[in-house]
Structure 1
Amino acid sequence: MTPNSPSSSAPSRRRFLASTAVAAAAVAGGMPLLTACGGSDSKDREGATSGKEAAKLLPTFVASKFADPDLPSKNGSAAGYTGKVELSAMTASVAAKLGTGAPLKIMSPFWGSPPKADCAYYKALDTAAGTKVTWQNQDGNTYGQKLGAVLASSSIPDMVVVPSWELVGKISNAVTAKFMDLGPYLAGDKVKKYPNLAAIPSDSWRMGIFGGALRGIPMPTAAATFNIAYYRKDIFDKKGYEVPKSPDEFISWAKEATSAKAKVYACGDMSWTAFNIFGVRPSGTLGWHIGDDGKLTYRIEQPEYLEALEWTRKLFDAGVVHPDDKARSGDAGQRFGAGQILMYNNDMSAWYGKTAEQAASNPDFKMDAMDIFGPDGGDPQLWSSQPANVWSLIRKGASKETVENALAAANFAAAPYGTKERILVDYGIEGTHYKVKDGVPVKTDQGNQEVINAWVMLAAPAPYFAHPDYPDVARKQVEWEQRMGAFMKKTSTYGMNIVEPTRYANLSSQFEQLEIDYVRGNKKLSDVQQAIATWKSSGGDKLRDWYKKLIDKNGSGN
């Protein structure tokens, strides 16, 4: 079940990008000790493992089935549960505790205020899983900085959560150097000791291969996971606005909807939507792709890259973007809730989070998601997300008992929908953290304070949406992904967990800030073009050759 508290929603992509920038800064020079993570064998940690070689490392897949989804996965979407689950009829996914109660230290990113170490929620999870976890929760917005420092030190917690957006530069090499091969515990049929981990899709497990070994326990993601342009449906309906169906329609609507005098603006920064509209590939390793012409290019070399930036700049130039979004201050989500902007970008979690947040104070509030269109108003070209984007890893040198307790915790966190473990992870203790109202668990104030992003970061079942208190949101989430997934294509590097050579660690680090500056009118088009040319000459072309060899060796991801 997905917790029914807006505070427990997954972090927004704004925060993801912020932490990426921090990690990049650490690698660029803020964390010089990271050089200690390299060494003479650093080349052994570069590249990727896929195909037959990867198959030898993967756990055996054993599907679990505790509740049939009302909306099965389609076109790469998550599954959806819109009906109520009989709480009293739920069973445990594992008959006996897998943990021995041995102490375990876990470091994880955390968004919000962490609960006390001895809170009722942590105690209940430890009792049920047979674990004794000491949480070392770190601010998710600056997690890359802390992660870099910890990986450069000689004191690493027993288990560390590593998000994909922090895997930049030498941090990728450090992951291979500092965390253990879990193959002896999980490869093949060994995983059957941990049935919830065995039920994680093989594509997601493949993303847990670092440096030729299975090191990461994955948090699976749906392939049709895209950044969303949310709009205020209640205001659209009231004003009679039509949802835009082309880039030109969007600009026309934005001009009509903006009233600076009334302090209402059409939108926030729509850069992420622009990249989707114009078919620009994601940043990072997924940005590489062999086109129909047989040429391997990176995202910034796509003609559509500049087209997306130019369209976004038109929005800023037209004065339809809120001044605070232009200044990159405050929270766009709060402006959206207040009706100061009528459309903004965020990840899928915001659909439920904002709906729940606004329910009491603004009962007329309704939000929906704009379908992505192509540059000409036709079908878009969307690019599949990787099948996992967060991993929990166990430090090298950990005792067998520590490893088994860490795996027990991850197995508990990965419990499927409709199980006792799932409701405990997502809602806590009945009567303390939630109450049952009309057959639906509803969090108490204590639940909203304690049952937030900690255990959910260790592992997860196959992707699904379920909001018992707002089932219509779950339905809309799945249906949107299914519609958009029909236009999805995989890049040549899909499904590969690629560690680039450290010499290219900062090669693309300038582009995020350059994009921000250009769309706001602070840089010229020629500045972006020059940056692309410099990228090629200062290592981009050599990195392309490296990727060519990697794809020739491993095969294309699509």
Structure 2
Amino acid sequence: MSRRTLLRSAGIATAAALSPALLTACGSGSKGGGNVANKGTKLTPWPTFTPKTGPAPDLKGDVTTGVEDAYLKYPSKLTKGTSGTPGDGSTLKVMTITYGTPPTARAKNQYWQAMEKALGVKIDFTAIPAADFQSKMSTVMAGNDLPDILNIGGGNTLAHEADFVMKTMANLSEYVSGDAIKDYPNLANIPTNAWSSVGRFHGGIYGVPIQRAKPASVMWINRDSFDKAGYKPTGSWTQEEYSAAVKELTKGKQYGIGSLPQGVWASSYGIANGWSMKGGMFTSQYEDPHWKDLLSYTNGLWKQKQIWPNSPTGSTVDFKTQYYNGTIQSYTDGFSALPTTLSVIHDFLPAPMLPFTVNGIAGAAYAGSNIFGYTTLNKNLSKAKIKMVLKVLDWLASPFGTEEYQLLMYGVEGVHFKYNGAGDPIPTKLGTTENVINLPFWYMCSAPQVLYVPGAQAGIKAAYEWEQQTSSKMIVNPTLGLRSDTQTSVGATISQNMTDTITGIITGRQPVSSWDAAVKKWKSGGGDKIASEYASEFAANTTK
């Protein structure tokens, strides 16, 4: 793909790091959907996880810790991920988010046609640009013209989301809970932590997860430059060594740091991943006094002009562009930026940075939500139709190394991709426009991810080694899958005030002493109530 095409799809990578926000949907029914909280309900069992055996990886992962299987070359022999055609010849209306450009019309789009033929259904796609998703979904949720398949993803928090889902979408519990999921072997291959991150709705399962890697946001660095400046990819990397490296890498119009980095550095200071939980009680990360130490340190780097001056207002695409061209030597993005990053960068080795140690205490990376979002089915579909649609989703979830996965991700051989000398699928010119980015079938459903990028063996090895060192120690957000009405109604507003305070302190517009007042305002503005609602939900989800 061209750099321009990849930049357009930058949001795909970033969204995975943001997806925990979509999990904090309503906790009480205020839009006619009824009570969506799990307190006082019988909890539907999660689907029985039944892993599928795929091609032997070059570097073996560990599903229990979150280390992904890594492939340094594409499988030479593909297998079948399903049997038969899942569809019934009908038309399905589908709505998803998109980070691509509008696709070529179906009549001229060979990728679209090939996917419909393989699925056995006609797909009428409504792909909403990421920038418009919140506003468009507000209109959709207020109306009655709903699709058959709706994906809610990209880290968006939709007002009264859970109420809307319960009111308009099908309860899938009888089809996917427990051993029932075995009718859909590829859906059964989705790990339990992805299902639990979607969460239950009043005890039931309403969404099929779009699985993603365990890590959340990371600091992407130019490994070549950082290695020369003293980076230690062994876990013994200290804050002092990091500071010295950043200073060395800042010269002229080159900056050691791109985007404001406090989000990924917080873990090195022992700050909780969003929330901490002890004895069933929840405490926000904002209440950790180490925040003031972190902000003071970051402000020092800002004063020394080691952070790109446009970072407070820069977009993800801005940071990627400056990282790709060498203006900034590091920036914050989702771990799942890996495929696009390794595909477009050939002048240096891009890699995630290990958390540095502070005062002799080793930092741990933050875990993400394990999902991009989840897919729901219209409740007006008949039982037979729901089973058929689940078969379609099962096809889309066919794992790496299958014929189905290849068609979904790369298109038709000879049309959308060709194999290079090493056997890797490389996009043709047509494949840069007719693809899964611009026609996002993968947001209907997709397989558990693996580490593979054509021709990027060094980058894959670096990412795999990073996962090995960090995954078992990652800090998890304990609110994943829990629901809070207050978070949905005021969470974005009160959190924005905290974000503004963080930026103000880092850039010197506010003193570090202003932090305490900001936290107090956050707590009184709804933070304390959110904590209480999470505690109630946690109790409901852990009581049989």
What TM-score, normalized by structure 2, do the two folds share? 0.87
Match of 1:205 in 2: 195
Match of 1:435 in 2: 418
What CA distance in whole angstroms lies between the structure 1 residues aligned with 2:13 and 2:413? 32
State the Cα distance separating 1:392 from its structure 2 match.
Answer: 0.8
| Equivalent position to 2:482, from 498, 508, 515 | 498
Match of 2:171 in 1: 181
1:328 paired to 2:314: yes
What CA distance in whole angstroms lies between the structure 2 residues aligned with 1:387 and 1:40? 30
The one-letter amino acid of 2:483's match is V
Contact 2:111 2:412 in 1 (8 A): yes
1:450 paired to 2:434: yes
- Secondary structure class of the residue paired with 1:145: helix
Distance 1:548 1:61, change over 3 A: closer
Match of 1:68 in 2: 56
State the Cα distance separating 1:317 from its structure 2 match.
Answer: 2.0
Contact 1:151 1:178 in 2 (8 A): no
1:275 paired to 2:266: yes
Match of 1:98 in 2: 86
What CA distance in whole angstroms lies between the structure 2 residues aligned with 1:368 and 1:127? 39
Distance 1:431 1:37, change over 3 A: farther
- Secondary structure class of the residue paired with 1:231: strand
| Equivalent position to 2:124, from 106, 124, 134 | 134
State the Cα distance separating 1:220 from its structure 2 match.
Answer: 2.0
| Equivalent position to 1:548, from 525, 529, 535 | 535
Give deviations 1:36-74, integer Å, cap 9, x for gaps.
Answer: 9824664x1134799xx54x4433333221312232323
Give deviations 1:160-195, integer Å, cap 9, x for gaps.
Answer: 111262235422332333221012322333333322
Match of 2:509 in 1: 522
Match of 1:194 in 2: 184
- Secondary structure class of the residue paired with 1:321: coil
What CA distance in whole angstroms lies between the structure 1 residues aligned with 2:538 and 2:272? 17
Contact 2:16 2:372 in 1 (8 A): no
State the Cα distance separating 1:297 from its structure 2 match.
Answer: 1.0
Distance 1:514 1:131, change over 3 A: farther
1:467 paired to 2:467: no
The one-letter amino acid of 2:305's match is G
- For residues 48-447 of structure 1, the aligned pairs below 5 Å read 53-54=42-43, 56-74=44-62, 75-86=65-76, 89-118=77-106, 119-163=109-153, 165-208=155-198, 209-223=200-214, 225-236=215-226, 240-243=228-231, 245-259=237-251, 262-268=252-258, 269-283=260-274, 287-290=275-278, 296-328=282-314, 331-359=318-346, 364-400=347-383, 402-438=385-421, 439-447=423-431
Distance 1:312 1:169, change over 3 A: farther
What CA distance in whole angstroms lies between the structure 2 residues aligned with 1:450 and 1:498? 38
The one-letter amino acid of 2:427's match is K
Distance 1:212 1:553, change over 3 A: closer
State the Cα distance separating 1:152 from its structure 2 match.
Answer: 2.0
Distance 1:168 1:178, change over 3 A: same
Alignment gaps of 5+ in structure 2? none
Distance 1:324 1:281, change over 3 A: same
Distance 1:343 1:125, change over 3 A: same
What CA distance in whole angstroms lies between the structure 1 residues aligned with 2:22 and 2:475? 30
The one-letter amino acid of 1:279's match is G
State the Cα distance separating 1:158 from its structure 2 match.
Answer: 1.3
| Equivalent position to 1:532, from 519, 524, 540 | 519
Distance 1:255 1:448, change over 3 A: same
What CA distance in whole angstroms lies between the structure 2 residues aligned with 1:203 and 1:231? 29
What CA distance in whole angstroms lies between the structure 1 residues aligned with 2:521 and 2:70? 46
Alignment gaps of 5+ in structure 1? 28-33
More deviation in 99-108 or 381-390? 381-390
Distance 1:184 1:199, change over 3 A: same
The one-letter amino acid of 1:519's match is I
Distance 1:539 1:343, change over 3 A: closer
What CA distance in whole angstroms lies between the structure 2 residues aligned with 1:197 and 1:504? 29
More deviation in 210-219 or 172-181? 172-181
What CA distance in whole angstroms lies between the structure 1 residues aligned with 2:294 and 2:467? 22
What CA distance in whole angstroms lies between the structure 1 residues aligned with 2:301 and 2:387? 53
The one-letter amino acid of 1:252's match is A
Distance 1:10 1:104, change over 3 A: farther
What CA distance in whole angstroms lies between the structure 2 residues aligned with 1:365 and 1:539? 46
Contact 1:254 1:266 in 2 (8 A): yes
What CA distance in whole angstroms lies between the structure 1 residues aligned with 2:19 and 2:179? 37
Contact 2:173 2:204 in 1 (8 A): yes
Contact 2:81 2:404 in 1 (8 A): yes
Match of 1:11 in 2: 11
Contact 2:31 2:160 in 1 (8 A): no
> How large is the Cα RMSD of the aligned pairs?
3.2
- Secondary structure class of the residue paired with 2:495: coil
State the Cα distance separating 1:420 from its structure 2 match.
Answer: 0.4
Distance 1:145 1:49, change over 3 A: farther
Contact 2:186 2:394 in 1 (8 A): yes
Give deviations 1:288-321, integer Å, cap 9, x for gaps.
Answer: 4228xx8631111122333333332222222111
Distance 1:10 1:474, change over 3 A: farther
Match of 1:31 in 2: none
What TM-score, normalized by structure 1, do the two folds share? 0.84
The one-letter amino acid of 1:67's match is P
- Secondary structure class of the residue paired with 2:170: coil
More deviation in 147-156 or 350-359? 350-359
What CA distance in whole angstroms lies between the structure 1 residues aligned with 2:434 and 2:29? 35
Distance 1:367 1:13, change over 3 A: closer
What CA distance in whole angstroms lies between the structure 1 residues aligned with 2:487 and 2:470? 37
Give deviations 1:332-369, integer Å, cap 9, x for gaps.
Answer: 1111111111111112233332332133xxxx322232
Distance 1:520 1:396, change over 3 A: farther
Contact 1:23 1:168 in 2 (8 A): no
- Secondary structure class of the residue paired with 1:465: coil
Distance 1:457 1:525, change over 3 A: same
Distance 1:141 1:20, change over 3 A: farther
What CA distance in whole angstroms lies between the structure 2 residues aligned with 1:48 and 1:305? 33
What CA distance in whole angstroms lies between the structure 2 residues aligned with 1:555 and 1:303? 30
The one-letter amino acid of 2:202's match is G
